Structure 1
Amino acid sequence: MSFSRATLVVASILAITVSARPAEKRWGGWGGSWSGGSHHWWNSAPAPSSGDFGKRWGLQAGSCDMAAAVQNMNLAAADPPLPPPHPSLSLFQVVVGRGTQNYTCDLSNSTAVPIPVGALATLFDISCVAATAKELLPALSIVALDLPVPDSDDTDSPIMQDMSGHHYFLDDTTPFFNMDTELHQYGMGALQKANASDAPNDAYAGPGGTGNGAVQWLKLDVKPAAQDSWKQVYRLDTAGGVPPETCEEATPTIEVPYAAVYWLFK
């Protein structure tokens, strides 16, 4: 899906209650602002000219049909398709993550390639979109990637009121999802990679549609003997995040912008 098309479908997204349980905050609409007067994170893309998109929507957050949402997981689009979630687990939340995939380079080695050292992303609840409009999910990653990274320290920002949590790494191989915030206590968990598949050939390569490609789709499992909240997490609908092929003309650390849709199971 192209960025121009993605910016148009955001209008449809705003017609859906976007945040899942519990009902804590309201979404802003077209024309909202955050972080020093810049546009609202979701809504800085050009709005359609028709309707009332020039004013705030104030959509009420509410619960969503997660049983319907799990039926909309598009695992088959990866190559090869990712295995399904364990039947004993339940989908709790679907979020879009916006941040960076991080790498290091050994500049003393002329043949060095970027080495992955984790990721850092802010997560926003899109559970109702997943439950009612699965065709919009790839567009959300595209739009998120083409907008600035939200400032998580700007707690007064409207979009930060709808933040579900943070994704980061405890070490180079342990992705961590911390969904406990000042607004809610959803849980947290350290996981490990169980399966990886290439993103579809037409996946969004990077900001503005240019870049080195979209990172793999993943199935993550909870670490053995862990008592964490999240038992399985899927990373789907990725956009961007792939580093240069070599470290030539690189810096010791590389941060590559990316976005993805994460499905969290308990």
Structure 2
Amino acid sequence: MLRLSAILTLSLYALLASALDSTTLGVGYQNYTCSSTTLTYSSIGALASLFDLSCMASKPEFADVQSKAYDIWIAPGDVKASANSIGAKVDAPTLLGYHYFINSPTSPGTGALSPEWDFTLRSHDPALFVVGAKVGDLPAPPPSDPGPKLDVDWLMLDGVPGYDGLNLLAGEIFRVETVGGQPPSSCKAGSEPIQVKYTAKYFLY
């Protein structure tokens, strides 16, 4: 927690610039299931398309590209739009890969899930993936107007040794500048799992 807080408060971009491997925009869903005991939603992973932001990083539009992408992603007229189509609409057309969750390789048989960033399909390189383990998180900055918490937390994750594609893609991952993704505050017993749209920047290095 302290490690993440220090990095985020000491200018994330400047600190990571020298070692940054990939700057990406994630567009997709946070997935939740309803707990019959607490009647609240709990996370069951996420699914997102990852777009290359490296060419945009020095441009003014980089600052709020995740917000623009989110507005397009949730627009009523785009209910059938695929996450894969959003990058081109915010001048980030290159799809690098996908972010999703797998059965935890370090806790097999427990039902635990682990996040993976997978660039293998688009790159045709079987080593370009990394499975992460969370080492810290911070609540997303609150909105300027009072209201419910809408944005998922900012995260720091380390690559899991042996499940990081020889460390060719990344050894550490940050999820920051999140928009959306939070579930409703309560649910009814027996409710179906839900997907909540979100966007975020992912820094891999």
**Is TM > 0.5 for Structure 1 vs Structure 2?**
yes
- Closer/same/farther in 2, CA of residues 215 and 163 from structure 1, 3 Å limit: same
Does the alignment pair 1:120 with 2:47?
yes
Amino acid at match of 2:115: P
Listed as ranges, the matches of 1:188-199 within 5 Å are 188-199=129-140
Please, which of 77, 96, 118 is the counterpart of residue 25 of structure 2? Answer: 96
Does the alignment pair 1:141 with 2:66?
yes
Amino acid at match of 1:100: Y
- Closer/same/farther in 2, CA of residues 143 and 226 from structure 1, 3 Å limit: same
Amino acid at match of 2:33: T
CA distance in 1, matches of 2:83, 2:67: 19
- Closer/same/farther in 2, CA of residues 233 and 204 from structure 1, 3 Å limit: farther
Please, which of 44, 56, 67 is the counterpart of residue 129 of structure 1? Answer: 56
- Deviation, 1:192, is 0.6
Q: Indicate the residue corresponding to 2:4 in structure 1.
A: none
Amino acid at match of 1:257: K
- Deviation, 1:249, is 8.1
Q: Indicate the residue corresponding to 1:76 in structure 2.
A: 9
CA distance in 2, matches of 1:139, 1:188: 27
Structure 2 residue matching 1:174: 3-state secondary structure: strand
Amino acid at match of 2:150: G
Listed as ranges, the matches of 1:56-71 within 5 Å are none
Amino acid at match of 1:174: S
Does the alignment pair 1:253 with 2:193?
yes
- Deviation, 1:204, is 10
- Deviation, 1:203, is 7.7
- Deviation, 1:140, is 1.0
CA distance in 2, matches of 1:245, 1:90: 38
The answer on whether the counterparts of 1:103 and 1:116 sit within 8 Å (CA) in structure 2 is yes
CA distance in 1, matches of 2:148, 2:189: 16
- Deviation, 1:136, is 3.5
Amino acid at match of 2:28: G
The answer on whether the counterparts of 2:95 and 2:122 sit within 8 Å (CA) in structure 1 is no
Does the alignment pair 1:164 with 2:96?
yes
The structure that is helix-richer by fraction is 2
- Deviation, 1:129, is 2.0
Q: Which has the higher contact order (CA 8 A, sep 6+)?
A: 2
TM-score between both structures, scaled by the size of structure 1: 0.56
Does the alignment pair 1:105 with 2:34?
yes
User: Which of 1 and 2 has greater Rg?
Assistant: 1
Please, which of 209, 219, 226 is the counterpart of residue 156 of structure 2? Answer: 219
- RMSD (Å), alpha carbons: 3.4
- 4+ aligned runs moved over 3 Å, structure 1: 135-138, 157-161, 182-186, 224-227
Amino acid at match of 2:101: F
Amino acid at match of 1:102: N
The answer on whether the counterparts of 2:176 and 2:200 sit within 8 Å (CA) in structure 1 is yes
- Closer/same/farther in 2, CA of residues 143 and 126 from structure 1, 3 Å limit: same
CA distance in 1, matches of 2:197, 2:83: 14
Deviations 1:191-214 (A, max 9, x none): 110110111113899xxxx97410
Amino acid at match of 1:220: L
- Closer/same/farther in 2, CA of residues 136 and 182 from structure 1, 3 Å limit: closer
The answer on whether the counterparts of 1:199 and 1:216 sit within 8 Å (CA) in structure 2 is yes
Listed as ranges, the matches of 1:8-27 within 5 Å are none
- Deviation, 1:151, is 5.3
Deviations 1:53-81 (A, max 9, x none): xxxxxxxxxxxxxxxxxxxxx82289xx9
The answer on whether the counterparts of 1:203 and 1:239 sit within 8 Å (CA) in structure 2 is no
